[in-house]
Amino acid sequence: MTRALRGTTNRRRVYLMRHADVSYFDANGQPVDPRHVPLTDVGRRHALAAGELLKDVSFDVSICSGLPRTEQTARLVLGERNVSLRHEPRLKEIRGGRLSAVPAAEREQVIAYAYDVAGEPGAIFIGGEAWESLRQRVLEVWTELLADDSWLNLLVVAHDAVNRLLLSHVTGAGLACMKAFEQDPACINIIEVDICDGVALRAFLRAVNLVAYNLAGKDNHRTVMEKVWADFNAP
């Protein structure tokens, strides 16, 4: 157990992942209910690649949002480990409104650059949930996790915006900097936290957006939301 600071109980590590690849649109290009989308075949391969990279990590606890894409990713990463997987609904992705309800002239700005306005007062995500609502529910979970002394290595499988919010929080950047933390499918972020009496004395990043199946990011030049816009806008 590493003691980095006087009074620190321990240094604990969070492996924060985004779920692997899914398709949010059907064969006709129509949006599907994001609550039920499963991993694609590509997504399953990517989750297995992440699992191979993390195969020597001894996870004490694992948590996912409970949506199928996070549970499937977590189980593929955990493999044969005897680690229970807990659902935490407060880690579900931020809720958007209907894409079709966005005026056509505004769609590219609202969808492709959705994170750019997260720090603005009263901002909402594509006509749906307020960014402040996401911040409150996700940080409730984060606070509870830090107060739980039953783990040293924690696997959390969540979502793009959820992960961005946590990364922004631990760096002290806030909602306005969420747009800077790109989160590719099945990516791995490593956060270390020094804890004293259930409170984080400091947190720092070991890795951000580590993608086991494409470490160099070759041919990957679109952001997550630019990809969503491209899929929505496809003929």
Question: pLDDT by residue (tens digit) across 146-185?
Answer: 999 889 999 999 999 999 999 999 999 999 999 999 999 9
On whether residue 142 sits in a domain, the answer given is: yes
Residues 6+ apart with CB under 8 A from 20: 39, 42, 43, 44, 46, 47, 50, 69, 72, 73, 76, 185, 186
On whether residue 143 sits in a domain, the answer given is: yes
On whether residue 5 sits in a domain, the answer given is: no
Give per-residue pLDDT as tens, 3-61: 455 555 578 999 999 999 998 877 777 777 778 889 999 999 999 999 999 999 999 99
Residue 57 — φ and ψ, nearest 5°? -85, 130
pTM given for the model = 0.92
Taking the CA atoms of the chain, what radius of gyration do you get in angstroms?
18
On whether residue 2 sits in a domain, the answer given is: no
Give the chain's domain count: 1
Query: Residue 185 belongs to what domain range?
Result: 10-233
Does 103 score more than 50 pLDDT?
yes
CATH number, domain of 161, equals 3.40.50.1240
On whether residue 195 sits in a domain, the answer given is: yes
What integer pLDDT is reported at residue 2 of this predicted model? 46
On whether residue 75 sits in a domain, the answer given is: yes
On whether residue 132 sits in a domain, the answer given is: yes
**What whole-number distance in Å separates Cα of residue 66 and Cα of residue 225?**
22
What integer pLDDT is reported at residue 102 of this predicted model? 86
CA angle 62, 224, 210 (to 5 degrees): 50
Residue 127 region, left (φ>0) first, then alpha (ψ -120 to 50), else beta?
left
**What whole-number distance in Å separates Cα of residue 189 and Cα of residue 168?**
12
Which amino acid is residue 85, in one-letter code? L
On whether residue 228 sits in a domain, the answer given is: yes
